[in-house]
Amino acid sequence: MPEGDVTSTRYLLGVDIGGSKIAVLAREVRGERAIYADKVKTPAEEGVGAILRLLDEQIENVPGGRASLKALGVAVPGPVDHTGHVLRAGNLKGWVDIPLRKTLEDRYEVPVYVERDANCGAIGEKWYGAAKDMSDFAFLSLGTGVGAGLFLDGQLYRGAHFAAGEAGEMTFPTGGSDPPPRVSDVVGKRSIQKKAKRATGEKMSAAEALTKSQDEPRLERVTDDVVEYLSTLTVAISSLLDPEGIIFGGGTSKAGEALLKRVRERAEANAAIRARLLLAKLGSESMLYGALWGAGKMADAR
């Protein structure tokens, strides 16, 4: 590509590093036109270096490559401090105490935004999705893990230790197990997939399992456990924070309104829920759009 074209097509890159997949989206700095998008399998067991090399490849695949990159935004599955330092990312081997923002800024020589994935999901829905008109809401990321991104009084809330919303670590004594399983152990997609295959002998996604349970009795127990935990989590969030809305996003939310209806009915049977329960307008890409927003914020600050 001629040098003049490279200059005129500077781009922002959003990256969502999940436990199973890495999604990337590139958008022109000026305008809203997307110029590149891809999803690849996460080398979750291969350490930080493997993911950085994969990111190198993705950047080179964008028209203009590294030379046209203006700013980068990255969503990661775990707490991140105000300097872009990843404290831990439980679904990624070796991701403990990683100075990710500095590492990426040194590597690519552009400003970098790094944020916890559920927080990015909340940002994505706030700016582009279902929460545009909300000041107080929770975004639930339902994927390999489970996390919540929180907006309180119009501001993203990270907590004193940058771990607000780590809902996947919560336990509810609902099933008689001692100790009770964590929310991620019940609602995480790998758990749902494993239980669905055990029940039916078929391999399917978590969203497929929850959707098929409407017509497949063998999947009813799997779905009922998920509904029980999500409804209990919904009641807890509603009771503690009194948000305007609770938004369900991430890959498992593709189960759609049928799942949401059951969660809503179960939650309302146990408590007075004032919050609206909604599906993410951006579907499974809320975190990706939040990361892209962060890239734009960093570019504007330069």
Q: Are 237 and 138 in contact (CB under 8 A)?
A: yes
Give the tens place of pLDDT for each residue, 221-274.
Answer: 999 999 999 999 999 999 999 999 999 999 999 999 999 999 999 998 877 788
Where exactly does CATH 3.30.420.40 map onto the chain?
3-120+285-301, 132-280
For residues 297 and 292, what is the distance between their CA atoms, to the nearest angstrom?
9
Mean pLDDT of the chain: 93
Q: What is the pLDDT of residue 96?
A: 96
For residues 109 and 128, what is the distance between their CA atoms, to the nearest angstrom?
28
pTM: predicted TM-score of the whole model, two decimal places: 0.93
Give the tens place of pLDDT for each residue, 146-171.
Answer: 999 999 999 999 999 999 999 999 99
Q: Are 75 and 116 in contact (CB under 8 A)?
A: yes
Class of domain 3-120+285-301: alpha beta
- Domain 132-280 CATH assignment equals 3.30.420.40: yes
Mean pLDDT, residues 102-116: 98
* Residue 178 predicted with pLDDT over 80: no
